[in-house]
Amino acid sequence: MNQSSEFQALCNLICAHTVARCIHMIAELGVADVLDDEPASAAALADAAGMNADALDRMLRLLAANGVFVREGDGYMHTPMSVLLRSDHSRSLRPFARMIGMPAIWRGVTDLEHAARTGMPALNQAQMISYLADHPAESSLFNQAMTSKSADAVAAVVETYDFGAFDRIADIGGGRGHLLQAILERTAATGILFDLPQVIDDAAGIDPRQIQLVGGDFFRDPLPVADAYILMDILHGWADDRAADILSGIHRSIPPHGRVFVIETLVSGSPGPHFGKTLDIMMLAVTGGRERTGAEYGKLLESTGFYLERVTPTESQYSIVEAAVA
């Protein structure tokens, strides 16, 4: 890479947040939903989405330069990435893009200086949970985003690991229970979905004959007894001391033969780009949590009465960290 290309590459990285914000806005305003199989002009799309035509054209031009949409004549068409912003796509990332662009989330990134100086976000995880409890529409969007973000991961997890040895499986902080339901479809087990009361209210459509819905706070309330405990995208939201509190709560309830499955995006040891490294900074800025390596999860588990049995990669960005009672 010559000096000029290094200069341009760094300029692009310095302004990369602009591309992200365009994706957030396109997702929030539903532009991908109003674009069908035929090319459509920015004016037509703007009229359908309630946007300014010139502003949308410029945003789409930038996104097309990055593979999200493509310019076709005087209009725009979908690409394999842009269709993932449609609400009706089976692997839709629209809720995830909208959630990352929510003021409460994005503000953490813009306030990154606070985290850089103190090691803590301007708004910590407990405050974020309280905020979502007071803003039910954003709380519902957050739960939708967690479901959409992990769509590929859920399929990858159930394809990778056989949970058939367990009779009762508890999904701790499981949101709408998408992973638990996928596991139970393949086993004869019964399930328990444990999450905050307002989250459980949002999951009220789940069949109670298969899954018991339990509202509570995993820092204060006893956790249900089960043979297996699933924690997907939970521990990364918390600093080590609070993550240890969650695991200790499980340790107080788990039978001696039980297993814990921590399903997270592990930080890669390779020097190149990796989603785990990006997500780690999001956690630093927004929740005060962190992404961890497999070895770091091993130390965290050992400090709370478990031992690491194995780390199993999946076909998604997630890995399955399996632990047993020490």
The answer to whether position 124 is within a domain reads no
DSSP 8-state class, residue 72 = E
The answer to whether position 113 is within a domain reads no
Tens of pLDDT, residues 208-247: 788 999 999 999 999 999 999 999 999 999 999 999 999 9
CB 56 within 8 A of CB 63: no
214, 299: one domain: yes
Tens of pLDDT, residues 11-61: 999 999 999 999 999 999 999 999 999 999 999 999 999 999 999 999 999
Tens of pLDDT, residues 133-173: 888 888 888 888 887 877 788 999 999 999 999 999 999 99
| Domain with 7 in it | 3-87
In the set 24, 78, 178, 236, the catalytic residue is 236
Tens of pLDDT, residues 79-96: 999 999 999 998 899 999
Query: Which pLDDT score, from 0 to 100, does residue 182 have?
Result: 93
Q: Which among 186, 187, 185, 173 has a CA at the least distance from the CA of 230?
A: 173
Concatenated DSSP letters for 250-300? HHHH--TT-EEEEEE-PPPSSSS--HHHHHHHHHHHHTS-----HHHHHHH
pTM for the structure as a whole: 0.86
What tokens appear for 25 in the block?
């806005």
77, 155: one domain: no
Query: Which pLDDT score, from 0 to 100, does residue 72 have?
Result: 92
Q: Tell me, yes or no, if 89 is annotated catalytic.
A: no
55, 154: one domain: no
CATH code at 197?
3.40.50.150
**pLDDT (mean) for 86-114:** 92
49, 150: one domain: no
